[in-house]
Chains A and B, each alone.
Chain A
Amino acid sequence: MAEFRKWTVQHDSERSRIADPPGFDAAAAREQADGSSSGRAAGTGSKLPLAKRQEALQHAATAPFKQVAMLCFMMWMSGSTLHLFSIMTTLSGIYQPLSAILNAKTAFPPDPEGELDTTLPRLTYCAIHGLGVAFAVYKINSMGLLPTHLSDWVSSMRPPAVLEHAAGSLLR
């Protein structure tokens, strides 16, 4: 005897959201998302020999070099004057490497079996993106946005206090 599954819909539990009808899948309504998000390192499979996997990992670590070089080139091309384009390029030039560095852990997850050396590729990966950040900082500096000069601190300087006072007569 097949067991009937009873279903309920609680309309009053969540006021802010419309309760889904049974069997309604919101994801089904959208376009099929790309499957690449499932992860590179995990997806490479464990069938390959260790050396190959290590090589692939190393390859993945040096892959962003082109991307960073492209960003640097774009930044260089955009010039060091303050324009919308140069500001946007510089911002993306600093944001992309930084976010990549911060997400390095997900890009290079530690091998559960402990056979693979993930540290060195991860460091390489970070170093390459670090170069990108360094170039972006240099770029910001050349745009004059870093307060490294005395003139940037002029507004915090106070006029010197005067020790003596001379007065003229009010009645003349």
Chain B
Amino acid sequence: MPARCPAAITLALLLLAAWASPGQAIYADQAGQHDWLQQHVGRVSLAAFAAKPRARLFVASRAGAVAALSLKDGSLLWRRVLGEGDAATALQAAGARVLTLSGGGAQLTAWDAATGAAVWAANLAGSSDLAGPDAAALAVVADGKRSLAVAVAAGSAKGFDAVTGELLWTASLPSTKSAAAVKAAPAAAGGAWVASLQPGASRLAVDLVSPTGELVSSIVLGAGAQLSSTQLLLTEAAVAALSADGTQLCSAQLEQGGGSGSLGCQALASLLPPGTATEGAHLVAGTCSQHAALRVAGGAAALALGSGSGAAVTAFVPGAAASGCFRGAAGGQQVAFATPSAAGLETRVLSAADGTAVEAPVSVAGLAPQRVSGKLVGVAELFAAPLNMGGSQAVSQLAVFDDDSLALVRGGAQAWLRHEELASIRDLLFTDLPAPTPENEAQWLASQPSLRQSLAAQLVALKVQASRVGSLPLASPEELRQLERHKAVTSDKLRPTRDPDGFRKQLVVLTAGGKVLALHNGDSRLLWSLDFGPGAGLRKLALWRVPHDVQHDIEVVALAASPDSVTATVMNAHTGKILQTLTAPASQAAGAADGAPDVLPLSQPVHDGTADQHVFVVAPAGTDGAAAVLPDTPAARAAFVAARPGFAFWRVDEVAGAVRGYGFTESGAVEERWSAVLAPPAPAGSSATQQRILALAAHTPGEAVGSPARVLGSGELKFKYLNPNTLLVAVGEPRGARSGHSGGDDSAAAGPRLTVTLLDAVSGRVLFSQTHEDATGPVHAVLSENTAVYHFWGSEAHRWQVASVELFDASPTTLRVSDLAFSETNTTTSSWDVPPIEAGAQTFLVRHAVRGLAATRSARGNTAKQVMLLTTTGQVYLVDRRLLDPRRPIVAPGQKPTPQQAAEGLPPYQPELPLQGPMFATLDRQVARLSGAAVEAAVLESTMLLAAHGLDLFYTRLTPSRSFDMVPDDFPYALLVLILGGLTVATVVLKFITRRTAVKAKWL
């Protein structure tokens, strides 16, 4: 039995308690208390309004989501996310079904309009049969009472019953075979028109297919110019196409009967008002018979097709975006236009036939998204349909802005706005909220329910408690809901200020579209947002200034790089105000290779009076370039000069398969210090598969380490090799790299190998290296303390595997108890003085395929460590570090671990990591397209905050060692007060009684 002080025993017992019932399990009524999930669809590319059976909005996004949105409040009714890299290319609503084409046009899927369940699916073509997503088309044709889904791809048209998915007929359409573009539309006379264009052709083949699947007629329409394969538009009675150079519009009316005809072509410049910019012209698909809409850079137009010699512009709105032509409630053909303006989005609905206003121009106040430059955010897409909602008939317009946000405008007012830009989070940062001040406290109090309401809620709460005790239904469901609402509104987690425990924080996120948004972690509400636009090239967020006092605000910086400079935009994290924009030159030496400069954070911020200023070093690409410092202040420069001798950085050279280490000379120029060629390019003609650097992982800067030593079961100490400059480099073959090889030829050759090397990033020294036979990428890795964990594919086991490597300092220790008991240990480590290293490594099988790994980190590093597997299914699975420990003892089945093994508290070795339901940090939710996670330690040691992002955004609190340092949220304070009060009263009463008894005994 090892000798331990009581504190160590307490900790051990605590850990044991945590081990006995692992981590995160919560009760049903605790769900949603500290976690939330925001679901998004991403940038909407297709939308369809449905009036029946219920007014709904169906959308499909570039990110591959198909969803139904409520027209009332924009909430997500259902959402289905297609496979990675897939997106719907056609979307049609057909009564109780929503039909999509996906998989590059080859996959037709019908979704239940009410629930989103996939009802039926059909494969239209092989993956190589289609030239692209434009080479397949979908139309919904009314055939008597039922709806017919006509799908055209790869030389044939198929008719499906839209509801049941029954294949009714197949018609051969040779013209659509190997076509570059195919369009289908219901024909006015019944059946469907199918237009197809061969690659590079100037002739359009148009076929009419009857509702029973017969080819009624075929027409070939010739145009004077080569036609664009993407800008082809087919309506019930007309066809239009843009020329390949985008300068001409060719159109014709469609009539039954075979033969050949011609398309009337007109130059856009002559059709549109003089002086209109005609670049970027595209036709907007609609549901009219002879009208369509056209968008150019300078505005949008409603067109009448095939009248006379070609098309005619019936209305033109400069600077506007147009919806597809649609049939109004009264039957007229209409086009909606939306023009961004500073006063709000200006919407109007015009008749497509004569350009008269159906709905007068209205400015939607408050809907005027702006970039920080003051430029208005344009409308990327507009969808419109007349819908009867709540008894009033009005055109609903769905505007997709260039910043990905999605707004529904109805009756001249904004119905709702969805921040779909949050579906593409690129970087995420936790910062503190503002400190409590009299002003914001007063603001919070003003938003709270009145005393009377609070009392009423307390009364209901008492009723609920009483009904629980007596199992009587005292509180009505309405009262229960009221109580829930009251709890939600008054919950402390929503306060706009920081708390001493560090639970309330804000999430500052950077999206792919260059938008910076701040969200409150209590309920994901938007605090502020800044739109820099994709042109700003923002890549990374970082803390900039953290004030020591509470009066000043935290500042964050967004970094962008160009080959010759780095731009840092400093923002106030609490107000979202841009404070300054700094540019650091990245002066490359002459002849240096092109490439973006590196931005390197210094390990310690500079204390400059009132705040901690974070300092970044800008190192130009290549060597010999002079480094610049951000911010360029004397204090920051001095900090860089002081840190320079021990400061290094690394770069990965993908082409040479090397990792190189760099440092700075006395003059501040970049110099190469070491180079490790780990995956040399295969010599030409060699049959070996090219090895590549599959993953590189480094420590998270500033990780708190609880203890530098580990206590073994024997009571001995093992000193961890704690080197935050460790780099993990995995070299091997990507998964599937050998699929082209035939197995027979090189059976003598070894299977794919995966080599993992741990390097010191300062000296380039190899600390540890191991090779896995028959293993391939993808590799994901994480480093924490002295442990490296990586995930890879074991091709022989045909399973995912996780390996962990733990490094220990093996130098003989001279430390004695007296050294520790009576003096402070003050040691330093240097990368140039590496002790002998003892490594332990172990590999486990795991069920999850992952997108990334991360590790939990607490404020002081004492809380149990967990490795987070970000799974491809969108979940975050927590694996206790002890399960990944290479020292897990091997205990023969049926035997008990020895006392020494048991004392170490490690579970016996099992080849497979256990799968425990409660260890899903995401609970029962899924973060679609999970791409990353950020962990922030709260002030309390036990707790950390996790935000996982992908298409969705998920936030929760993690307590890997359970909440050992706080009372639970449902702690019965009232009961405690009641007991104390009762005891006080009892003491007074008993004292009185004793006194009386004593008097009685002595005197009476």
Contacts and interface: CB of A to CB of B under 8 A. Distances in A.
A166 B761 contact: yes
B1002 A165 contact: no
B829 A161 contact: yes
B36 interface: no
B6 interface: yes
Given A154-B8, A154-B709, A169-B649, A164 B725 contact: yes
A80 B1003 CA distance: 57
Nearest to A142: B1
Interface string A108-143: 000000000000000000000000000000000111
Nearest to A161: B828
Majority SS at the chain A contact face: loop
Interface in A51-104: 80-82
Interface in A147-164: 147-164
Contact of B724 (A81, A156, A157, A162): A162
**Residue of B3, B646, B651, B999 contacting most chain A CB atoms (<10 Å):** B3
A79 to B, nearest CB: 11
B49 interface: no
Contacts of B832: 164
Interface string B542-565: 100000000000000001010000
A156 B601 CA distance: 30
B660 to A, nearest CB: 12
A171 interface: yes
Interface string B568-612: 000000000000000000000000000011111111000000000
Interface stretch (B16-24, B714-722, B749-757): B714-722
A24 B751 CA distance: 102
A165 B826 CA distance: 19
Contact of B646 (A21, A154, A156, A164): A164
A150 B716 CA distance: 8
Contact of B8 (A20, A82, A152): A152
Contact of A170 (B11, B540, B647, B825): B540
B271 interface: no
A160 B829 contact: yes
A151 B710 CA distance: 8
Contacts of B705: 159
B879 to A, nearest CB: 24
B985 to A, nearest CB: 20
B525 interface: no
Contact of A157 (B619, B650, B707, B995): B707
A18 B828 contact: no
A151 B5 CA distance: 9
A30 B62 CA distance: 93
B716 A165 contact: no
Nearest to B617: A167
Contacts of B469: none
B792 to A, nearest CB: 21
Given A24-B1002, A169-B649, A163 B828 contact: yes
Instruction: Please tell me the size bucket of the interface on A.
Output: 35 or more
A168 B761 CA distance: 9
Nearest to B427: A170
A155 B4 contact: no
Interface in B651-674: 651-652, 661
A166 B725 contact: yes
Contacts of A144: 1-4
Nearest to B761: A166
B830 A163 contact: yes
A18 B998 contact: yes
B370 interface: no
Contacts of A164: 646-648, 725, 762, 830-832
A81 B651 CA distance: 55
B539 A147 contact: no
Interface of B: 1-9, 11, 539-540, 542, 559, 561, 596-603, 616, 619, 643, 646-652, 661, 698, 701, 705, 707-709, 711, 715-717, 722-725, 727, 760-762, 813, 815-817, 820-821, 824-832, 995, 998-999, 1002-1003
Given A166-B661, A166-B698, 5 more contacts: A149-B4, A151-B2, A154-B8, A164-B762, A169-B649
Interface of A: 18-21, 24, 80-82, 141-172
